[in-house]
Structure 1
């Protein structure tokens, strides 16, 4: 079944603008990730879009972005967000892609150097209901793979020694915010023709 996004592809500039808005209003604005503000402010986050709905093409784009990230210094590009706006609507199918992404890390000998985290508009933690507001901590406007440097995680954890408490704090933040508060952030994907701000 085709989605609105598939039937009316969203321009790449809008996809990036939507993702930046989500990062600024939700991830940074709600402090869901205390480590995101600095690389965002320094312009060290790279935004990439795979416009293909084919799994092999997304994996090829992932390979290219992993290689590009590792080829640069963290001061130039600390992290990458790879968005896949078409063909990956089903969260479980998208989540299954992580096994192949992990195999790619092994093939490129990047385990221990980079890791990949998933975000998705229908993200659902194991053991939660689909409409559980706490799932919103990992809900992005588009299916997204976050490519992260292990050394950046290590530095962030050293600067934030109680990093293991972030997950619990995020759950509490979203429960307090509620569905109406999350909707008010206006961080979903742009409808065709909508201008992202």
Structure 2
């Protein structure tokens, strides 16, 4: 199962995140093999927090040129988006408690991701939807450097929304087949 989960996330990263250029900073570490895909076996919060802390510690001890970022994939827990959202508070607490604020950032992805003020069907939610719940651990200094090199980084979210809104229904089904199956349930 771990291999299938990792392959699904790698495909999503390649086709959606990089393919649609939703994150203009993802292509380089993807090509350089600097992304770690860690499938958590956690089925409850305590174990997941332990996994999260272990990934931060791994980033602490691994040079940036070997490991730039980690995708902590959660296939057995936090399937409900509201539970996932509540867990993010615990993840932030772990970061604060271990003095990781300012060193790392978390980005969040979920199969049912929904921005405040949107409906589940709104296309903009696709920018943060992934095959499984994911906690993306980013090195803050590296992110700041990349953002500093990017012209008009504040336009990235607007550009992403326009990009996913411009997708045809056929393209959405091709890029996100698992999401549409889940939405119909």
TM over 0.5: yes
Determine if the alignment matches structure 1 residue 43 to structure 2 residue 33.
yes
Deviation at 1:87, TM superposition (A): 2.5
Structure 1 match to 2:146: 156
Relative to 1, partners in 2 of residues 1:179 and 1:94: Cα closer, same or farther, differing over 3 Å?
Answer: farther
Structure 1 match to 2:4: 14
Determine if the alignment matches structure 1 residue 28 to structure 2 residue 54.
no
Which of residues 49, 52, 58 in structure 2 aligns to 1:59?
Answer: 49
Secondary structure in structure 2 of the residue aligned to 1:148: strand
Structure 2 match to 1:7: none
Aligned structure 1 segments of 4 or more residues deviating by more than 4 angstroms = none
- Answer 1 or 2: higher relative contact order, Cα 8 Å, separation at least 6: 1
Structure 2 match to 1:146: 136
Is the CA contact 1:26–1:187 (under 8 Å) kept in the aligned structure 2? no
**Structure 2 unaligned regions, length at least 5:** none
Partners of 1:110 and 1:163 lie apart in 2 by 24
Structure 1 match to 2:65: 75
Partners of 2:157 and 2:61 lie apart in 1 by 31
Relative to 1, partners in 2 of residues 1:54 and 1:41: Cα closer, same or farther, differing over 3 Å?
Answer: same
Relative to 1, partners in 2 of residues 1:33 and 1:187: Cα closer, same or farther, differing over 3 Å?
Answer: farther
Structure 2 match to 1:95: 85
Partners of 1:87 and 1:33 lie apart in 2 by 26
Once the two structures are superposed, residues 152-173 of structure 1 have per-residue CA deviations (whole angstroms, 9 ceiling, x without a partner) of 1111111103111010000000
Is the CA contact 1:133–1:178 (under 8 Å) kept in the aligned structure 2? no
Once the two structures are superposed, residues 114-152 of structure 1 have per-residue CA deviations (whole angstroms, 9 ceiling, x without a partner) of 011110000000000011111000001000000000011
Partners of 2:12 and 2:173 lie apart in 1 by 12
TM-score normalised by length of structure 2: 0.93
Is the CA contact 1:22–1:187 (under 8 Å) kept in the aligned structure 2? no
Q: RMSD value over aligned CA atoms?
A: 1.4
Partners of 1:151 and 1:179 lie apart in 2 by 38
Partners of 1:141 and 1:135 lie apart in 2 by 13
Structure 2 match to 1:125: 115
Structure 2 match to 1:165: 155
Once the two structures are superposed, residues 34-53 of structure 1 have per-residue CA deviations (whole angstroms, 9 ceiling, x without a partner) of 00000000000001011121
Deviation at 1:186, TM superposition (A): 4.7
